[in-house]
Copies of this chain bind each other. A is one copy, B any other.
Amino acid sequence: MTAINQAPTLRQPEGVPSKQTPAGMHGLTGTLEMIGAPMSYGRNEEIFGEGEPAEYLYKVVSGAVRVFKILDDGRRQISGFHLPGDFFGFEVANDHSASCEAICNATVLVMKRSTVTGLAKRDSSLARKLWEITAGELARAQEHIVLLIRSAEERVGSFLTEIAARTHATQEIDLPMCRQDIADHLGLTIETVSRTMTQFETAGIIALPTSRHVVLRKRAALAHLRD
């Protein structure tokens, strides 16, 4: 626990509110941000732990976080990475079903859960938005299931494609997470992830100026890998 951990400042988050919510987004982005407080977390700092009461809902402002479970055999399954703009930590149950850590220094908007669910009781569009966020998580989980039954090549290829799409990158992506994080997300070993990346580079599908910086040379090839 070497990280800086600012106490939430109970005012509007700086910077963010200037971007006003576009109409048609059900107003959640606006509403929730109003009641949120920005918090900073250092690299590898815990944001919440599995089994803890889920007091807050979160939205990434900058940086990246990983949500994971530690299995009884000691392995770690990273259920997802969350990037700027993503909500996370939404629970219907009272406790968090997974743990969450900052991957790198990260700023996160923190909203009190009781406030949000209280508002949702009176505002059916907000209630629906909460449902939609959970349904979005479900869709992502199901995509992930489909990914896990495929070959290592396809898993790594899809991962790169997904990160590129979610960061709105056209050509180059900077991976915030290490190889072990990727491996624990894709259900592979660090060696297999590394080998597969090298293989993509050899095939001219990507370039790797540094291990964290990926240049997508043939995006179509990445997306259409067969096993």
A175 to chain B, nearest CB (A): 21
Contact of A187 among B124, B130, B149 (CB under 8 A): B149
CA distance A127 to B134 in the complex (A): 13
Known: A131-B134, A135-B92, A142-B97. A73 touches B226 (CB 8 A): yes
Q: For residue A144, which residues in chain B have a CB less than 8 angstroms away from its CB?
A: 145
For A134, give its contact among B71, B75, B134 (CB under 8 Å): B134
Question: Nearest residue in B to A75 (C-beta to C-beta)?
Answer: B149
The answer to whether B134 and A97 touch across the interface, beta carbons within 8 angstroms, is no
Contacting residues, chain B, for A141 (C-beta < 8 A) = 138, 141-142, 145
- Cα-based distance from A71 to B147 in the complex (angstroms): 10
In the complex, A14 has a CB within 8 A of chain B: no
**In the complex, chain B residues whose CB is within 8 Å of the CB of A79:** 142, 145
Q: With CB as the reference atom, state the residue of chain B lying closest to A91.
A: B135
- The answer to whether the Cβ of A208 comes within 8 Å of any Cβ in the partner chain is no
Q: 1/0 per residue A180-219: CB within 8 Å of B?
A: 0000000100000000000000000000000000000000
Q: Please give the residue numbers on chain A whose beta carbons come within 8 Å of chain B beta carbons, in ascending order.
A: 69, 71, 73, 75, 77, 79, 91-93, 97-98, 120-122, 124, 127-128, 130-132, 134-135, 137-139, 141-142, 144-146, 148-149, 187, 226-227
Given contacts A73-B227, A93-B135, A138-B141, 6 further A-B contacts (CB under 8 A): A69-B142, A92-B131, A98-B142, A120-B124, A127-B127, A149-B187
